[in-house]
Amino acid sequence: MNDHDMPRGIYPMLYAFFNAQGALDRHATRRQVQAFVDNGAHGMAVLGLGTEANKLSDPERRQLVDWVAEELAGRLPLAITVNAPTVDAQVEFARFAHSRGASWVILQPPPDRGVPEEFFIRFFGAVADRVDLPVAVQNAPDYIGVGLTPEGVKTLSRNHPNFRILKGEGPVITIRRFVEETGDRVAVFNGRGGLELPDNLRAGCAGMIPASDTFDRQVRIFDLMRAGREREADAVYSEVLPAIVFVMQSLDTLHTYGKRLAALRLGLGEVHDRQPALAPHGFGLECVRRFAKELGSLA
């Protein structure tokens, strides 16, 4: 992948919906993928924190990847998150993702804790060196519990050229430090549901990886910013910000309320949670219905 091929834009992360029997819901997967294509997403992602991949078995993760690949049919670039405890296991899953049409993979850190940063640099580097796809690293210390420093990311990019993308999760000022350290060598994305989106783009982010509930407005913001129409982008952001703030209080609120917001906008039926999950509150559901009405249909 050369510099001209570096990913850019809004890559919404697929929610994992479940049916009444507790199994993955293929219909909901299909509706999300089609909505991404129809509403101008620049790519899409699956198996990240928003997908609740930690609640999925390995066969379920592979099933979801297979469904997404079939429904997407190469119409958008696809980023697939890899979460496995060893270098060999991450390499194997990354190669599986490649075989299903992934454009790049996002490595999550192994479960090791209390080890120096150099351990994670060596771990990610060892995976990147054995994978033929461009490799990203998810750097989400507030959600995962560990992360790399800007200096660590710079070292990783210098020593392992296949590491080309950073999937950050943090305030824009924090993300800006990673942009400054890596320059043009690494495409920096942020997440956090799209919080601070216009300023993330001003800070040099290549794009964002939100969930599917408000991604269409975020696509519009990105396209307006790219066209130099910043005042219009800021206006769209001010309209969608209340919904983003509401669902991004925590990962639990994202999974409970963000998923229900997406379901209403996609025209899906009842949402069934896989435990452990935050039980929806009546007032919270009222808020979700109001946001869905204001934002309109994604179907």
For 156-169, the pLDDT digits (tens) are 999 999 999 999 99
- The alpha carbon of 81 is separated from its chain's Cα centroid by a whole number of angstroms, namely 8
- pLDDT at position 2, please? 46
Which residue, among 291, 259, 292, 289, has the nearest Cα to 274 in the 3D structure?
Answer: 259
- pLDDT at position 5, please? 75
- pLDDT at position 3, please? 41
Q: What order do you get walking across the sheet with 187-190 strand by strand?
A: 9-10, 207-208, 187-190, 163-168, 135-139, 104-107, 78-82, 44-46
| DSSP-derived secondary structure for the chain | --GGG---EE-PBPP--B-TTSSB-HHHHHHHHHHHHHTT-S-EEESSGGGTGGGS-HHHHHHHHHHHHHHHTTSS-EEEEE--SSHHHHHHHHHHHHHTT-SEEEEPPPS--S--HHHHHHHHHHHHTT-SS-EEEEE-HHHHS----HHHHHHHHHH-TTEEEEEE-S-HHHHHHHHHHHTTSSEEEE-GGGTTHHHHHHTT--EE--BSSSHHHHHHHHHHHHTT-HHHHHHHHHHHHHHHHHHTS-HHHIIIIIHHHHHHHHT----BPPSS-PPPPHHHHHHHHHHHHHH----
- pLDDT at position 299, please? 82
Which residue, among 8, 12, 92, has the nearest Cα to 51 in the 3D structure?
Answer: 12
pLDDT of the chain along its 299 residues, tens only? 444 478 999 999 999 999 999 999 999 999 999 999 999 999 999 999 999 999 999 999 999 999 999 999 999 999 999 999 999 999 999 999 999 999 999 999 999 999 999 999 999 999 999 999 999 999 999 999 999 999 999 999 999 999 999 999 999 999 999 999 998 899 999 999 999 999 999 999 999 999 999 999 999 999 999 999 999 999 999 999 999 999 999 999 999 999 999 999 999 999 999 999 999 999 999 999 999 999 999 98
Distances (CA, A) of 87 to 32, 108, 117, 121, 152: 31, 11, 16, 12, 19
- Residue ranges and CATH numbers for the domains of the chain are 3-212 (3.20.20.70)
- pLDDT at position 1, please? 46
